[in-house]
Chains A and B, each alone.
Chain A
């Protein structure tokens, strides 16, 4: 998929300037930059959630999103939290739960899971869509170091296994390195991409 962005403004304030970005299956990109620079806005434009920009976005790839917070349905159990949004069968959802290490938690509601488990559930939900490109918005924040590292390794393994591409938004270059993602820096006012 490819994005040719001219600009994205909120009111009078232009947040993102002219930039071009393309990503394909199997390719891993990381967008780095300080908080508030517009990384999440860029990801929302890529995902199609934000259509209020000037520019062109093309590509027929299947996308899946992992948000900064797990964003689960609190009133549905773990299996339904995968099966309903991803539109897959319950058996497949169980399979994905097992693959992210949540076997035995199928009938639990999100608030009965720890934050680390909720994030793994959100990851399983994204992979259940069988995406060509996975979009992740700071998915490892507010996890302790050990849980964060396990989550990174799990993400890496699932990406390799499925062959999906990745666009990761983060402020931590170590996360990009751990996933072997090409780092792009977002900086300036309005923000543009700077290659390493």
Chain B
């Protein structure tokens, strides 16, 4: 028996997706033409031209690259720490009781407070910036992974113990595949949260990156520039979701398909 080729998951949502983006562009165009001050809301083609200019000078690539590096570093840190903590808290009731109050407190401290404190305590440097972003995301990942760890199948646990599987093998083949949907959800929710906080961190205390550029443009009230940088980076993040996260999710879910 062969497996039927699965149609790409993109296809069904493609037409409505493109149409809804076109509709948003149309509303933007109309609104920009109705305002008499182009400084307040520039037309989409002006923003597009600005993006093109930024790309030509290389400014876009350098600053978007720096922001992307900070996103990647804090994402990796937050996912690793959040997964370890979530797994631990989901498996051990004692760990959950001890760590839960700290998790709830950290979940509710405003991102800005964490950023400011990190900058003051660690310094206005890359470590402070990345740690500040990761600290904002760790409790969110922890809580999501804890729910997954609580729902781990006890029969598979027994099987792994009965066959004396080594801890590393057990983690890789028994535990992580069960957590995959939770990890994917945490990653999806995390990447968007993280890049928003990275911009705040750059706005407050870095001398490059998209957030720093927006800081400069804010002081001159340059809406066109702000929109150009924001949209360019949104495109980067969308590309990561489409070409990195989704294919990985599809691959991880291969086993759910029935035989043809």
Chain A contact residues, CB within 8 Å of chain B: 47-49, 63-65, 67, 69, 71, 73-76, 80, 84-87, 108-109, 111-112, 125, 129
Contacts and interface: CB of A to CB of B under 8 A. Distances in A.
Contacts of A67: 155, 158-159, 162
A79 to B, nearest CB: 13
A75 B158 contact: no
B175 to A, nearest CB: 11
Contacts of B255: 74-76, 109, 111
B162 A49 contact: yes
16 contacts: A64-B163, A65-B163, A71-B155, A71-B159, A73-B156, A73-B173, A73-B177, A74-B177, A76-B255, A84-B169, A85-B160, A86-B163, A87-B165, A108-B259, A111-B256, A112-B259
B161 interface: yes
B165 A47 contact: no
Given A49-B158, A86-B163, A129-B163, A73 B174 contact: yes
A111 B162 contact: no
**Main secondary structure on A side of the interface with B:** loop
Interface of B: 155-156, 158-163, 165, 169, 173-174, 177, 180, 252, 254-259
Contacts of B155: 67, 69, 71
A76 B255 CA distance: 7
**Main secondary structure on B side of the interface with A:** helix
Contact of B258 (A48, A49, A111, A125): A111
A71 B163 CA distance: 12
Most buried by B among A76, A84, A87, A129: A84
Contacts of B156: 71, 73
A135 B103 CA distance: 44
Most buried by A among B158, B165, B252, B256: B158
Given A85-B165, A112-B258, A75 B159 contact: no
Contacts of B173: 73, 76, 80, 84
Contacts of A109: 254-255, 257
A130 B255 CA distance: 28
Contacts of B174: 73
